[in-house]
């Protein structure tokens, strides 16, 4: 009778042991896949934000060169808004993904960009697609 009891105990214990091993293996595999998926997601969204900010920066620097020699009062207002936009872009925390106001600052840059475009009377269309990003008019 004791031998029969040991066989059933080993069967029950094997079930628990395999359950524990399966859980650990699954957890490790899931953690590994989660890290890879998170890295891919972060890279994709970071690239989109970087591309968007880069377009704003290129746009701003080009207009700074174009408006540099203009001296009218209307152009003075454009230059003030432009300098503000450039300052916001330069202060943007590119290298700190944990910055808690990242999206707020990005929204402020977008708003300042729209304000500047309004002063210029242009309708920009910033697009992010599979082929890349671009700013068109």
101 inside domain: yes
In b/e form, how buried is each residue of 115-132, taking b as 16+ CB within 10 angstroms?
Answer: ebbebbeeebeeeeeeee
- Residues 28-80: pLDDT tens digits? 888 888 888 988 888 888 889 889 999 999 999 999 988 877 777 777 888 99
127 inside domain: no
Q: How far apart are CA 1 and CA 37, in angstroms?
A: 54
Range of the domain at 50: 14-120
pLDDT of residue 130: 47
126 inside domain: no
Tell the residue number behind the tokens 């896949």, with chain if given: 33
Q: Is the pLDDT of residue 137 over 70?
A: no
7 inside domain: no
| H or E stretch at 134 | strand 132-136
98 inside domain: yes
User: Could you tell me which residue, 131 or 31, shows the higher pLDDT?
Assistant: 31
89 inside domain: yes
Tally of domains in the chain: 1
| pTM of the predicted model as reported, rounded to 2 decimal places | 0.69
């Amino acid at each position: 009778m004791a031998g029969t009891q040991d066989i059933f105990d080993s069967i029950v214990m094997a079930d628990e042991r395999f359950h524990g091993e399966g859980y650990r293996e699954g957890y490790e595999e899931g953690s590994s896949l989660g890290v890879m998926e998170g890295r891919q997601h972060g890279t994709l969204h970071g690239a989109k934000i970087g591309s968007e900010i880069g377009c704003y920066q290129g746009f701003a620097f080009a207009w700074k060169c174009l408006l540099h020699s203009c001296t009218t009062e209307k152009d003075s207002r454009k230059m003030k808004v432009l300098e503000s936009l450039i300052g916001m872009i330069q202060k943007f925390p590119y290298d700190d993904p944990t910055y808690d106001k990242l999206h707020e600052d990005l929204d402020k840059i977008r708003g300042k960009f729209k304000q500047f475009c309004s002063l210029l009377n242009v309708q920009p269309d910033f697009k992010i697609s599979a082929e890349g990003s671009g700013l068109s008019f």
